[in-house]
Structures are given as structure tokens and as C-alpha cells.
């Protein structure tokens, strides 16, 4: 009851978001579906005193600290619901077997696409290793914490991406899913598999957008997304530890190793 302001704010924002409902915005190649989850996200962000200071009159530091762990609790019903859809759709999941397994290799896309940007565009140092070897969810943070500690540059990189993903990941996933689903460029089942990146909130937002765009395939899409998410948790840890992290470390040595060595020698000479 001491956090009544937090609970009241959540209830009011949820009601407002549901009253607004799903809004469809045509953009030529398809359409963007704005879901109640997105409205709630934006309104909640505006109530965060770390973003807008006057909001501290309603939501203080104590409420913010209490809200953070509640995200995990709040997403559990989604995970449980998705889990119940896997059993009835097991035949379709088995039929998609090779595709479902091989799409896990897509996790390496963070290395191939994000690493060059981090190193040559953003000019990051070893922070780029932690930031780009994965999508930086909890299992990936554990890998970096064990290998480098979170106080290292690699730890700074992974935590930076984790925070950004937590703040904006659901919004971005929902927008991308709605655009691709309505554009007709990809098979909806492939998009559903792509929703399972190892984040419950991102998967919920992505699957919700797909289900809203293709209601006739809702159960199949949800089942494939849930199965993909489960596989990502099962295999993503090992792929990140034994494939992605060694790969990005070697790429970093090739890209910046000489620069780092030169900088160290210059520092030693200055001392």
C-alpha cells in the first residue's frame, strides 16, 4: 500500500491505452500498427522522473526502483500463455523444424551489422565487444559479467545496450513487426520466429503486432514465436559464449588492436 501511487498510475495508464485501442497508420509499403502496449510505454516514460523531472511529484525514486523488478513479474502471464500454445501447435512447430533451428543463427547478425557501426562510426573501444556480440539480455549480461566483470569496458557496452533495449526494444519490435507483416515481404511464420529473440517483453510486443495484423494465423504465430523464444534461451547462451563472443573479439583485434597497442605504448612513454 506504500506504493499506491505506482499501482494507481499503472491502472490509469492501462485503461487509457486500452480505450485508445489499436490504430493503423498506412505508410505505402504496409502499415504501422500502434498497440495499447506502445501508448502505455510512452505515457509511463513521461511519468519517469529521470526523464521528466516534474513527474517526481507523482512517481518518486522509491516507485521507480519498485517498478523495475515488477517488469519481470508482469511479463510472466504472457510467457505462461505462450507456453500453452506450443502443445496444440506441436505438429506445425515440428514441420518448421530446420527453419526454426537455423534461424537461431540470425543472432550473429548483431556482430555482422552492429560491430562495424560501433567501431568505425561511433568510435567505441572495447565497449563494442559487450555491446554487439548479442542483443544484451540477461543471459548475455551474465556471460560478460563472468568473462570481464560489469565494471569493465565490455560490461559498460552490454549494460548500455541492455538499458536501451529495455526502454525502446518493445516499441521498435512492435513497429517493425507491423510494417513487415502488412508489407507482405516475408512469410508470417518467419516473422513469428524472428519475434523470439530471448526477451519476453520484445516477443510479446512483436507477436501482438503480428496477431493484430494477421488474426487468422494468431495461434500459429504465437506458437512459433514462443518456441523460437524458448530455443533462443536454450541455444542462445552457448551461441553467444562459443561463437559470437570469440568472433567479435577477433574482429575487434583486427579492427582496433593496433590502435590500442599504439595508445598503450604512448601512455607508457608519457609516464
Instruction: Quote the pLDDT of residue 267.
Output: 47
**Per-chain mean pLDDT for the chain:** 76
Express the helix, strand and coil content of the chain in percent, nearest 5 each: 80, 5, 20
Instruction: Quote the pLDDT of residue 104.
Output: 63
Under the banding of pLDDT at 50, 70 and 90, the label for residue 80 is low
Instruction: Quote the pLDDT of residue 266.
Output: 46
Q: Pick from 43, 20, 23, 41: which is nearest to 32 by CA?
A: 23
Per the CB < 8 A criterion, the answer to whether 72 and 205 are in contact is no
Instruction: Quote the pLDDT of residue 66.
Output: 75
26: left (phi over 0), alpha (psi -120 to 50) or beta: beta
DSSP for residue 110: I
pTM: 0.61
170 membership: H or E segment, kind and range: helix 153-183
Q: What is the pLDDT of residues 140-168, one digit of tens each?
A: 887 888 888 878 888 888 888 887 776 67
In this predicted structure, the answer to whether residue 37 has a pLDDT above a threshold of 80 is no
In this predicted structure, the answer to whether residue 32 has a pLDDT above a threshold of 50 is yes
In this predicted structure, the answer to whether residue 258 has a pLDDT above a threshold of 60 is no
Please, is 82 exposed, middle or buried when counting C-beta atoms within 10 Å of its C-beta (0-12, 13-18, 19+)? buried
Under the banding of pLDDT at 50, 70 and 90, the label for residue 257 is low
User: How many Å apart are CA 133 and CA 223, to the nearest integer?
Assistant: 27
Instruction: Quote the pLDDT of residue 16.
Output: 92
Which whole number is the average pLDDT over 253-269?
58
Higher pLDDT, 41 or 89: 41
Amino acid at each position: 500500500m506504500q506504493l499506491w501511487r505506482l499501482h494507481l498510475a499503472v491502472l490509469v495508464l492501462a485503461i487509457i491505452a486500452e480505450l485508445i485501442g489499436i490504430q493503423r497508420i498506412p505508410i505505402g509499403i504496409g502499415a504501422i500498427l500502434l498497440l495499447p502496449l506502445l501508448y502505455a510505454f510512452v505515457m509511463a516514460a513521461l511519468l519517469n522522473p529521470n526523464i521528466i523531472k516534474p513527474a517526481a511529484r507523482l512517481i518518486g525514486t522509491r516507485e521507480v526502483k519498485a517498478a523495475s523488478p515488477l517488469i519481470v513479474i508482469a511479463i510472466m502471464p504472457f510467457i505462461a500463455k505462450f507456453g500453452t500454445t506450443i502443445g496444440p501447435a506441436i505438429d506445425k512447430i515440428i514441420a518448421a523444424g530446420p527453419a526454426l533451428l537455423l534461424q537461431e543463427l540470425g543472432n550473429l547478425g548483431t556482430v555482422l551489422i552492429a560491430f562495424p557501426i560501433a567501431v568505425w562510426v561511433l568510435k567505441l573501444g572495447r565497449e563494442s565487444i559487450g555491446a554487439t556480440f548479442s542483443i544484451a539480455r540477461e543471459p548475455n549480461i551474465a556471460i560478460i559479467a563472468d568473462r570481464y566483470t560489469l565494471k569493465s569496458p565490455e560490461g559498460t557496452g552490454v549494460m548500455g545496450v541492455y538499458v536501451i533495449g529495455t526502454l525502446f526494444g518493445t516499441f521498435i519490435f512492435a513497429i517493425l513487426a507491423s510494417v513487415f507483416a502488412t508489407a507482405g515481404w516475408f512469410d508470417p511464420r518467419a516473422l513469428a520466429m524472428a519475434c523470439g529473440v530471448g526477451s519476453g517483453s520484445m516477443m510479446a510486443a512483436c507477436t501482438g503486432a503480428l496477431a493484430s495484423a494477421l488474426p487468422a494465423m494468431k495461434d500459429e504465430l504465437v506458437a512459433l514465436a514462443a518456441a523460437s523464444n524458448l530455443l533462443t534461451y536454450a541455444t542462445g547462451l552457448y551461441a553467444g559464449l562459443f561463437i559470437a563472443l570469440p568472433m567479435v573479439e577477433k574482429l575487434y583485434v583486427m579492427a582496433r588492436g593496433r590502435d590500442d597497442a599504439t595508445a598503450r605504448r604512448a601512455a607508457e612513454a608519457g609516464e
